[in-house]
Amino acid sequence: MIIVTGAAGFIGSCLIQRLNQDNFNYIIAVDDFSDEQKNKNLEGKKIQERVDREHFFEWLDANYQEVEFCFHIGARTDTTEFNVEIFNKLNLNYSKKIWKKCHDYQIPLVYASSAATYGLGELGYDDNESLIPQLKPLNPYGDSKNDFDIWALQQEEKPFFWAGLKFFNVYGPNEFHKGRMASVIWHTFNQIKKSGEMRLFRSHNPDYKDGEQMRDFIYVKDLIEVCLFLMHHRRDSGIYNLGSGKARTFLDLVKNTFSALDLEPNISFIDTPEDIRDKYQYFTEANMSKLKSIGYEKPFHTLEEGVEDYVKNYLSKDTYL
């Protein structure tokens, strides 16, 4: 029996599909299931039970002896939300409770952290745990993820195996419900379909030309392969980067989306809103050497490969993973 929190969301639902593929069908799906659009992500997947996140701990106290592993993917991920109490409740305190239960019941745990913890990257993008207390995230979401990482590292009582994964810019199927928080590829596809063009933020940093702001984009299929590796590996606990390891420009991303649609690029630029300019990341790139050092060897999709698969096999067909 495997727990997946955030089960109806983008990454959680993709993870369940991949677990089903390997015949792990006793899945306990934990989420707030009130969003019918989000629930479409779970259609056709093999799930043993759906448990509302508000009742999850009662369920776990009654059923922990059957649980083999916990993937804690669920979180409030809106980087434009500034109500700290929401993040304290859903991200920080909920995660602390899961950690404690996994320790008490000896359940191995993989949880989602975020590259948002790195802020403007003043200290680089190395998953060196000694640097984590010095990181300066740019918003309450990033703070909540970093605060939990710091707390986890301070605990003397830990699950016998645990890993925190700093997700970089994830894209791929099952993000239809995310709206403005969906990936740039999703937005590009929809803008092209609507208007035939894509508008990107202009650069307000003299070191970067328009559209040459860079991010580490990781295809969700690669991310969930790492999750499965850790589920079987169950040693070398710690906090790990999870990106492709290669920064690419937004222009690269958009041009590849046009290419996957067999269209010539039509790209224009608009000013970055003033209220986010001073919090805008111009570069992120995951140092992936730590994960590789514990034996992870699978290659990651290039941006070209990932975008082509996502656009041609999911977005263009309006299908789910």
Structural domains in the chain plus CATH codes = 2-172+218-245+285-301 (3.40.50.720)
Q: Residue 37 is encoded by which pair of tokens? A: 């659009």
3-state secondary structure of 2: strand
Q: Is 267 annotated as a binding residue?
A: no
Q: What is the DSSP string of 64-106?
A: GGG--EEEE------TT---HHHHIIIIIIHHHHHHHHHHHTT
At residue 179, the pLDDT reads 84
pLDDT of residue 83: 80
- Establish whether 170 is an annotated binding residue: yes
Q: Among candidates 23, 12, 22, which has minimal Cα distance to 51?
A: 12
Residue with tokens 């969003």: 35
Q: What is the pLDDT of residue 196?
A: 95
Report d(CA 173, CA 305) in Å as an integer. 14
Tokens coding 273: 């809103």
What pLDDT was estimated at residue 72? 97
Q: What is the pLDDT of residue 274?
A: 84
240 is catalytic: no
Half-sphere exposure of 80 (CA within 13 A, CB side): 7
Q: How buried is 64 (Cβ within 10 angstroms: 0-12 exposed, 13-18 middle, 19+ buried)?
A: middle
Question: Would you call 4 helix, strand, or coil by DSSP?
Answer: strand
Catalytic residue among 100, 136, 178, 246: 178
73 is known to lie in a ligand binding site? yes
Characterize the bridge pairing of strands 2-5 and 162-167. Answer: unpaired
Dihedral sign for Cα atoms in the order 215, 219, 224, 225: negative
- Tokens, residue 55: 């009742």
31 is in an annotated binding site: yes
Written in H, E and C, the secondary structure of 141-189 is HHHHHHHHHHHHHHCCCCCCCEEEEEECEEECCCCHHHHHHCCHHHHHH
Is-contact 38 9, C-beta < 8 A?
A: yes
For residue 94, indicate whether it is catalytic. Answer: no
Helix axis angle, 220-233 to 303-310, nearest 10°? 110
- Binding site annotation covers 24? no
Which is catalytic among the residues 111, 118, 125, 141? 141
10 marked as binding residue: yes
pLDDT digits (tens, 9 = 90+) for 3-18: 999 999 999 999 999 9
Positions of the chain with pLDDT under 50:
none
Per-residue model confidence (pLDDT) at position 51: 98
The pLDDT score that the predictor gives to residue 82 is 75
Q: Give every CB contact of residue 195 below 8 A, 6+ residues apart in sequence.
A: none
Minimal CA–CA distance to 183: which of 201, 166, 169? 169
